[in-house]
Amino acid sequence: MGSQRVSIGHRTDFLLDIVELGSAGLEKVAVWNSSEGLASARTTAPLDALADDGSLKNRTFIVLTALSPPYGMLKRSPNKLTGNDRFEGFGIDLIHELSLMLGFNYIFHLQEDGVYGSKGENDEWNGMIKELLEYRADLAITDLTITADREGAVDFTMPFMNLGISILYRKPTKLAPSLFSFMSPFSTEVWLYLGFGYLGVSVCLFILGRISPGEWDNPYPCVEEPEFLENQFSFRNALWFTIGALLQQGTELAAKAPSTRAVASIWWFFTLIMVSSYTANLAAFLTVESLSPTIGSAEDLANANGAVKYGAKRDGSTFNFFKDAEYPTYQKMYEYMKENPDLLTSSNPEGLARVKSDNYAFLMESTSIEYIIERECDVTQVNGLLDDKGYGIAMRKNSPYRNALSAAVLKLQEQGKLTVLKIKWWKEKHGGGACLRGSLDGKPKDLDMANVGGVFLVLLIGVSLAFWYGCCEFIITT
């Protein structure tokens, strides 16, 4: 008992030390006074948490979790659920597997504010870490990142999941096909050279047809010595012969002289290669849709100059990673987020909502991104990982059950059970695999007018010009 005051024979202001039998004897675990009530003063684990043989059998742990899909979620049920039955998720199943292996019991408590734990300016911890330090929980499991700061306050098991920071961003939007997308297989330069080649070969045929004796014919075979000869390769006919070969169509014209036949043969070979190349690429250009520009790395974000907004979870391990980073790009990104606190979010779902509704990129753990893109088909993960870290089960410093839990986690990993649990909660439960099922649909994409409209336009223009020319001929001749 501490100091006290006596008023009219009664103690009115006194202090009580509450002690408990611990491993080193009686230890002060709390303080009570008449003005402030009870305050915890525990500095070591309770005696019943320790065992000489390190066994966890029949021990009961208070396990702290948070609502963070798929690690911890409230179970959906038409019936009222109580106790551990209220929760489901990867972390819930992991604790269950560990309890079966080590023989301990557990009671789940929910971290109501969803704060995992960060150190404030006064060096005091909040969230789950604070609950552990103040002995209101024995273990904490969720997507709780193992960091140097947290390792200084609590202990972690070996990581049950390895991951890194990545970028969640909306998928590139599909651009409307070009009206003249049928011209896309060749570049503008190739089309120009093809046009010049067509004109050049036509002129060459016209000239060779004029200077080659074999191309001059007797228009009247019955007259042995006609007054004049005719030549089939007028400039108009040369153009017609060349375009017919280019479009893989025949004409009534046929080269007779060796020189014109040589030019025609080379032109046929050239058009064979060009038409084959065009046909091979045409299907791809008509069916593959162009995508809008997008970001491809953290450097793109840092150099976007505000064109693409980005942020992370406020006071989370991802934000602290950029805060402590020495890489210039990451320092630049931290300064941007620090100057724009409105771009930080209070939760991952809020970050996802911003990504879907705005030109916004959200920095978060890669495993959470994997979970999201299995269900949200309009977002994707950008590039690889920015760092390498892991999730672990947190407990108080120097906890005697740390080694046993770490060994059990390692054994589950070796048995492949952690992989089975990840597949269950990422790809199967609660809508997992929805986007994969859609992408595996083998139905070919139909071409619509947006893809081939330009061909119809060319047809319309060509027929219209031909009709106009025919009308002009009729008017002139009559």
Residue numbers belonging to the annotated binding site: 145, 150, 317-318, 365
| H-state helical runs in 288-374 | 298-302, 317-324, 328-339, 348-357, 366-373
What is the rounded CA–CA span in Å between residue 183 and residue 455?
9
> Alpha-carbon distance 311 to 330, whole Å?
12
**Annotated binding site for L-glutamate, which residues?**
145, 150, 317-318, 365
- Residue 221 is given by DSSP the state T
Instruction: Give the side-chain half-sphere CA count within 13 A for 168.
Output: 33
Residue type, 462: G
Amino acid code (one letter) for 46: P
Displacement of CA 139 from its chain's centroid (Å): 32
Q: How many CB atoms lie within 10 A of CB 418?
A: 19
> If 0-12 CB within 10 Å is exposed, 13-18 middle and 19+ buried, where does residue 452 land?
middle
Positive or negative: CA dihedral 50, 55, 59, 63? positive
Q: Are strands 4-7 and 10-22 parallel, antiparallel or unpaired?
A: antiparallel
Query: If DSSP states are collapsed to H, E and C, what string results for 369-432?
Result: HHHHHCCCCCEEEECCCCCCEEECCEEECCCCCHHHHHHHHHHHHHCCHHHHHHHHHHHHHHHC
Which neighbouring-strand residues pair with 312? Answer: 363
286: helix, strand or coil = helix
* 125 DSSP β-pair partners: 119
CA distance 311 to 38: 41
Backbone dihedral angles phi then psi of residue 297, each to the nearest 5 degrees: -165, 175
